[in-house]
Homo-oligomer: A and B are copies of this chain.
Amino acid sequence: MKLVTPLIRKGGVSTALVMPNLKPTISNTDQALAYKAELQALAPEVQFLMTLYLNPDLTPAEIEKAAKAGVVGVKSYPRGVTTNSEGGIEDYRIYYPVFEAMQKHNMILNLHGEIPSDPDNDICVLNAEERFLSHLKQLHTDFPTLRIVLEHATTKAAVEAVKSLGDTVGCTITVHHLQLIVDDWAGQCHHFCKPVAKYPHDRAALRQVIKDGHPRFFLGTDSAPHPRHLKENASSCAGVFTGSHVLPYLATILESFGALDRLQSFACENGRRFYQLGERSATAGQVTLQRTEFTVPEELEYVDDEGAERAIVPFMAGKKLTWSFA
């Protein structure tokens, strides 16, 4: 936290939706506010939007409290699917009173859209997102005015599902899923994340919906800082770290498939509109990029809480980007 929080602004980002899958999870308003204060102290210039971890102890009363305290969303993790998701959901129906309260208080439901792997039913990391989409559709049908965000979509099926739904359903796409396919994480632990990157045709669909300028698709980095020794390991932590250079990555990658003109709407406007954050002032948090080659650092060094020298390997470490900050 101490390393990466100050990097948010350096990456060009002024508004961050903070995920609640910590140990322990951020499960109620008080925890979210305490966490927000810690983050805010490390990066006073960033707007932190807080979320709660969807869990059986959440009540409609707690939702009302959270909404009044400015917590913007509740994040749902299917059980066991990603980092610290052991306490996640198995069935959404028990949460319907919570969703009812969220809809009433204008909170957002953020979905990690995968179902747990189940080999007996042919469910694995490759089709876990596609198999989740029926849940997304059902939730939207049952709570038509609840704003829902399908987070870090990775498949053509997800793109098509979101497009087919109403204006209360948005979708984030990460920087790295615009770049990676399955081949890139086969034996390459620094590209391993959840959801995993999929087929070339899936990546093509993610790229195309941005090229099309669809207003309900926007940047969500899902930037996860795991130290090198927990990545280059027999059992690698899931996550790609893009937080330190979000906008140079994004400009470079968007330009590579002819979508540089969508940079501002995808990264800065569509998300703000969906989150009802209001117009940004012309200068607040503004950054300028220039077409100057920039080499991503090989690693970001830090000293951990036990005093050990550690490093995070950022996405595309040692690779050249075609855009950098002016």
A residues near B (Cβ < 8 Å) are 117, 119-127, 181-183, 185-190, 192, 196, 199-201, 203-204, 231-238, 313
Contact = CB atoms under 8 A, between A and B. Distances in A.
Contacts of A203: 119
Contacts of A236: 187-189
Given A123-B200, A124-B183, A186-B196, A233 B232 contact: yes
Contacts of A123: 200
Contacts of A238: 186-187
A189 B186 contact: no
Contact of A237 (B182, B185, B187, B237): B187
Given A117-B183, A183-B117, A189 B234 contact: yes
27 contacts: A119-B183, A120-B200, A121-B200, A122-B200, A122-B204, A124-B181, A124-B182, A124-B183, A124-B199, A124-B200, A125-B182, A125-B183, A125-B186, A126-B199, A127-B199, A185-B186, A185-B187, A186-B192, A187-B189, A188-B234, A188-B235, A188-B236, A189-B233, A189-B234, A190-B234, A231-B234, A232-B233
Contact of A187 (B119, B199, B235): B235
A122 B196 contact: no
A192 B201 contact: no
Contacts of A119: 181, 183, 200, 203
A326 B119 CA distance: 33
A288 to B, nearest CB: 32
A313 B233 CA distance: 12
Contact of A122 (B190, B199, B231): B199
Contacts of A199: 122, 124, 126-127
A228 to B, nearest CB: 8
Contact of A232 (B185, B204, B232, B313): B232
A84 B13 CA distance: 43
